[in-house]
């Protein structure tokens, strides 16, 4: 059996640490799980001897539900934890919290944390497999994988395809993971947004930068729109939400002006009328809901491949 | 790798498949509510061949067929060094109340069949499940499982390895017996 049936890593901490072969293996495995989740009985027994802890130190609905469904459909035992209802409030450190949970014999940890690098830090100290479900403004690898998987499903192999990421690039972990993932798959990437929300030197990653949403839409095959992360913005980066919507919000007229078919994506939660108009979000070129469906298949594939790597 | 000994060559291979088809016709008549399910990957090749062969003997029969992948149902998943690469499951029909013929090329420990039966349960509730195999290694079973239709029976030591070659995949039809286990 060829070595490409195995991930090169024990953890999924970020796309940065995955190889192109890993990404393609995850996609291939996700194809099989997609078939499973469309069956009348959506469950397989692969992970029946695995216990997974979902540690969410930050709010989440989609990612958390998606992970929990993926775990349950693989027959894993699941424990959930959210910071708002835990001892973290009483002053416990991250390492202590996690070590306590691991003493209860947990095999895998899915973690979301507001501090960049939290998942990496944990992987240096504990033995369980770790999946990063978002660490601050750093990475959100499973989201990037499901985004790229959904794009591939819609437009075919991503080699040479033009992908635009539009919105709050500075505070978005989805943007960074997307950039790493798409570049590894050979796509061309352009980021677009107000200058204050584009990180300086971002072009060093190998992407192009644009401040004009019309030009970007004319250029791209796929547009991935990002939410303005007000909760992470310590200062004002633009005059008002209304002005942002006026200059960078994607609406039907802008798409018509581009004069071609553009696949519209959004990792959610969407702010209708800000970065995307309702018309565009609900149009037939929008694959926002397919992204959510694929999310479960991608997460099942990652859990499965990591469990096999223990 | 050491050369294996051919225990079933091309002509007898074909005759064996034809005999199996006739046995199926004997018990299934015109194959109403019957379907062939091949187990990935080589069982699928065998199921397709059986289907083709049935069509030449009984041109009017229209038997349904599907592929079943059991990777996610294996009990040795966590014990292996490397994960197994899953294949596709394609069962485009409802298997409720169907008579199912599970097809695999070699019946050895019986664990594959056990996994296949639990996988089938997730697709529905068949009326009946029978098992067809080309090679039955009857002395190496780990579980109380037997085949209903058997091509050839091979009595070999546990160390031995039986390999089935298919024209579609390997260029010719034959069954080989190796003295020692192949390194997988």
- Say if B104 falls within a structural domain: yes
Residue A308 has a pLDDT of 85
Architecture (CATH level 2) of domain A141-287: 3-Layer(aba) Sandwich (3.40)
- Say if B19 falls within a structural domain: yes
Q: Is B78 on the interface with A (CB under 8 A)?
A: yes
Residue A158 has a pLDDT of 96
Q: Is B60 on the interface with A (CB under 8 A)?
A: no
Q: Is CATH 1.10.3720.10 the classification given to domain A3-140+292-308?
A: no
| Contact criterion met (CB < 8 Å) for B88 and A41 | no
| pLDDT mean over A53-59 | 91
| pLDDT mean over B61-65 | 86
Our CA dihedral for A99, A105, A111, A117, rounded to 10 degrees, sits at: 40
pLDDT in tens, A22-35: 999 999 999 999 99
Whether the predicted pLDDT of A2 surpasses 50: no
Residue B30 has a pLDDT of 83
Range of the structural domain that residue B86 is part of: 5-178
Per the model's pLDDT, the better-predicted residue between B151 and A88 turns out to be B151
- Say if B105 falls within a structural domain: yes
A154: Cβ contacts below 8 Å, ≥ 6 apart: A222, A263, A287, A290
Q: Tell me the percentage of chain A whose pLDDT exceeds 70.
A: 97
pLDDT in tens, B23-34: 999 999 888 899
Q: Tell me the percentage of chain B whose pLDDT exceeds 90.
A: 62
- In total, how many domains does chain B have? 1
Question: Are B110 and B145 in contact, with CB atoms under 8 Å apart?
Answer: yes
Residue listed under structure tokens 């959506």: A42
ipTM: 0.75
- Say if B183 falls within a structural domain: no
| Contact criterion met (CB < 8 Å) for B88 and A43 | no
- Say if B184 falls within a structural domain: no
Q: What is the CATH classification number for the domain harbouring B22?
A: 3.40.50.2020
Query: Is beta strand B161-165 parallel, antiparallel or unpaired with respect to B174-178?
Result: antiparallel
Whether the predicted pLDDT of B159 surpasses 50: yes
| Contact criterion met (CB < 8 Å) for B82 and A44 | no
pLDDT in tens, A169-198: 999 999 999 999 999 999 999 999 999 999
- CATH 3.40.50.1370 domain extents, chain A: 3-140+292-308, 141-287
Whether the predicted pLDDT of A13 surpasses 90: yes
Between CA B86 and CA B180 the distance in angstroms is 26
Q: Tell me the percentage of chain B whose pLDDT exceeds 70.
A: 95
pLDDT in tens, B99-109: 999 999 999 99
Crossing angle of helices A94-103 and A118-125, rounded to 10°: 50
pLDDT band at A3 (very low <50, low <70, confident <90, very high): very low
pLDDT in tens, A272-286: 999 999 999 999 999
Residue B67 has a pLDDT of 94
A45 CB neighbours in chain B (<8 A) are: 72-73, 118
Identify the weakest region by mean pLDDT among A226-235, B78-87, B104-113: B78-87
């Amino acid at each position: 059996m060829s070595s490409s049936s195995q991930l090169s890593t024990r953890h999924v901490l970020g796309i940065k640490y995955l190889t192109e072969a890993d990404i393609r293996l995850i996609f291939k495995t996700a194809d099989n799980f997609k078939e499973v989740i469309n069956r009348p009985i959506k469950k397989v027994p692969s992970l029946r001897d695995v216990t997974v802890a979902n540690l969410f130190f930050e709010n989440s609905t989609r990612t958390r539900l998606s992970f929990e469904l993926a775990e349950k459909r693989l027959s894993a035992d699941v424990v959930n934890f959210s910071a708002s209802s835990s001892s973290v409030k009483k002053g416990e450190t991250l390492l202590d919290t996690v070590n306590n949970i691991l003493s209860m014999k947990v095999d895998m940890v899915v973690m979301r944390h507001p501090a960049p690098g939290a998942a990496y830090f944990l992987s240096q100290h504990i033995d369980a497999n770790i999946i990063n479900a978002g660490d601050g403004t750093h990475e959100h690898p499973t989201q990037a994988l499901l985004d790229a998987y959904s794009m591939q499903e819609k437009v075919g192999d991503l080699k040479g395809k033009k992908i635009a990421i539009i919105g709050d690039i500075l505070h978005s972990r989805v943007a960074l993971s997307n950039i790493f993932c798409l570049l590894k798959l050979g796509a061309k990437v352009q980021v677009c947004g107000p200058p204050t929300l584009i990180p300086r030197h971002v072009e060093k990653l190998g992407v192009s930068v644009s401040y004009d949403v019309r030009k970007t839409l004319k250029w791209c095959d796929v547009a991935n729109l990002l939410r303005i992360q007000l909760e992470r913005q310590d200062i004002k980066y633009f005059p008002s939400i209304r002005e942002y919507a006026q200059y960078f919000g994607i609406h039907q007229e802008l798409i018509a002006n581009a004069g071609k078919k553009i696949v519209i994506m959004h990792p959610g939660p969407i702010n209708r009328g800000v970065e995307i108009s309702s018309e565009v979000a609900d149009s037939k070129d929008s694959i926002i809901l397919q992204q959510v469906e694929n999310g479960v298949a991608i997460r099942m594939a990652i859990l499965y491949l990591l469990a096999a790597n223990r | 790798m050491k050369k294996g000994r051919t225990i079933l060559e091309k002509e007898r291979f074909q005759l064996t498949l034809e005999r199996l088809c006739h046995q199926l016709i004997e018990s299934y008549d015109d194959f109403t509510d019957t379907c062939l399910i091949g187990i990935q990957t080589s069982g699928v090749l065998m199921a397709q061949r059986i289907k083709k062969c049935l069509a030449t003997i009984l041109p009017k029969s229209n038997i349904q067929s599907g592929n079943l992948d059991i990777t996610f149902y294996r009990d040795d998943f966590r014990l292996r060094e490397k994960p197994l690469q899953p294949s596709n499951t394609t069962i485009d029909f409802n298997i409720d109340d169907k008579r199912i013929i599970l097809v695999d090329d070699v019946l050895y420990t019986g664990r594959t069949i056990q996994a296949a039966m639990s996988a089938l349960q997730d697709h529905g509730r068949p009326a009946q499940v029978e098992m067809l195999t080309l090679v039955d290694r009857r002395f190496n079973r780990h579980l109380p499982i037997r085949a209903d239709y058997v091509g050839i029976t091979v009595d070999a030591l546990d160390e031995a390895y039986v390999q089935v070659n298919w024209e579609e995949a390997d260029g010719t039809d034959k069954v080989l017996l190796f003295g020692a286990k192949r390194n997988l």
